[in-house]
Structure 1
Amino acid sequence: MAERKWKKISTWMAAWVMAVVFAVSGAQTAFAATSYVNSVSITLDVTPTVGESLPDLDVGYNSDNCEVSIPNNDKYDIVSAKWSSTKNDVKIGGTYTMKVTLKTLNDYRFSSSSYTSSKVKVKNGTFVSASRTSSDRLVVTVKTKPAKGDLDAPGEAYWQTTKSGSSDLGLAKWEAVEDASYEVYLYRGSKNVYKSGEIHTSSCDLFSYMSSKGTYTFKVRALPSNDEVSKYASKSDWTISDEVYIDENDAARAAKKKPSSGNNSSTNNSGNSQQAPSNVNVVGWILDGNRWYYRYPDGTYLKNGWGFIGNIWYLFDANGMMLTGWQMKNGVYYYMNGDGKMQTGWLLYNNTWYYLSESGAMVTGWITLGDKAYYLGGDGGMLTGWQNIDGQIYYLYPDGHKAVNEVIDTFYVDQDGIWRKPQ
């Protein structure tokens, strides 16, 4: 009897010990399984073709030759990659965002802390943001490099007039191309008689180079407007104008005219002003050394203010010298390019973007262009990233536009673009 009771106790003790062992083992296993994915890597092999729709996206590992891939690993896998928008055809210089969904493997988890650019490596693209939708799902927003291609050729090249004796004879014009400057070649018959430097306007006065009787044409092509654009854009094909005939009288008139646009000047005349030349009897544009002046028929010069010449605004100092670069007038900043032309729209200067209104004035504060809002700081420079503006926190994408109704780095910004700290 005692022996049977002892056997029962022994059996119970053995079962209890086994239960404890399994419990401890299970706890250790559960504890060991709490491992996190500390960083992820995404490779883009996407080359959007200018003028076409965005390509389909296949996903896989780097060895699979897919458009979007990750390295072989045992921590996370790639589920899908989808374009944020496929409405428009690819434009030269355009960058396009996609959302890449990752999932964990083998009991790994995505951390609740932010996955920033230091934790997300993107090859052949740019990291935008990452959002953990659950412990096993991470959605990474990435952006392609600018789409490369040739600039569009000017759509039409034409003479302002072909009428003999006209003051506009020899004025070459063409349709403007976005993000482009231009170069122009002038021909008399098949002979090239003039090659321009880089021109930042969509017109060029060629009359002074038409000093021989004959039939003239010009051709024009678009060039990248700055070093940034040249990273993704190449010069365009040529566009050829119609013909204009210059008779003997017009040729004689052209021979007396000085080059009159300043289009080839790249000198920054923001200082070292000198008095306008007095020993000349020509009118219009006058080049004195490397400085441009504008002389009226009565012998006086346009000075200390704005001049609207050939449908272009120029700015002159107190001595009549045409100004270039940043200029302040009546407390407002303007930017005059190397040709003296007042700039409008976006301007990339020293790797910082500025926006100049239609009046040329440098903009500060919020500005809405189309359906996107941007913020220009007190110095006019466009802001990006997380910013405290007037006591509110906003996120501005690398191209400057404000994020709205999105999750950025696990933080939600509302329909006004504001992140609100949980109470």
Structure 2
Amino acid sequence: MRNTIRNSKGTDIKSIRTWVLALAAAGMAISGPFPALAEEDRTPVEEVSLDVESAIEVRDTGSDVSVTTDSDECYVSNVDVTNEPNGEWKHKDKPKVQVSLEAERDYYFKSGFAKKKIKLTGSGGDVTSVRRKSDEELIVTITLDALKADDNDYDLDTEDAEWNEFSAVGEWGDSEDAAYYELRLYRNEKFVTTIRPVKETHYDFSKYIDSAGSYRFEVRGLYNSSRKGEWQESDIFEVTAEKAAEIQTAAAYKQSGSGPAAGTWKNDAVGWWYCNSDGSYVKNNWQQIDGKWYFFDENGYRKTGWVSWKEQWYFLNENGEMLTNSVTPDGKYVGEDGVLAAQG
């Protein structure tokens, strides 16, 4: 009788061998008709030159930027400025441009396409990122050079500088782009003092008019410490000794907080406001009170914290007083005019 060799589980070894041979043959039959994985027959894009032309200038509200390429391997399919301002472009703003590149037929973008493979001409700028969306599309982000303002971009002229002779208050016309004003006072053509910053279009010179003489002041608008308008000269305010005494008496009333010229701080559940002696109160503007500057919102309430005024930032402490020559609680520096200094 024929012997049959089985494994420990009783399986027929010969049967196993038969199944193995059958499976091997089946595998060869399956794999036989299929070719090896096809090789990439497209050409990789190695480098792209982009010509960037930007018409964006300080105070523009639009974002006119064009990007072209002379490459035969890809083309520009879309250009988008991603950091458009809500209002106007400002001095030192850096427009960011996102460019979509699509590969031409028979070309593709390899993985890991480097920034250095993008060459720029035209408007100054740098490639800040490159992202491969697919092997047929590349997203390039370009940061253009900071915008530079020209003095002619700002209207800082003031007009009609004159005296209100009943109260020794100097007044002048508003400058469209001035963040604040600077004043110089003269008596008998001799320099007395400089006052800055002045946020309103009037200033009470009472405390400086302490003797008889011919007084005049000069005023100019400033956008910041480097953008300044031309000096505008006032008319002459002739002051007698008696008039000077009257002015000083009125100034003393204001300083002490008594008398008809003084206003009053008031508050309710919403906040604080300043009621002037005539019952009026400032809204959406600055007011100097006892030598300190305060900003009041559109409802007349005193503001605290950061305030934006004519494209400049100012910081008001918990009492609403504008800080000058100080470091704010969040580590920023404000100069002598209260304006936030440029951050390095």
TM-score, length-normalised on structure 1?
Answer: 0.41
Task: Give TM-score, length-normalised by structure 2.
Answer: 0.48
Larger Rg: 2
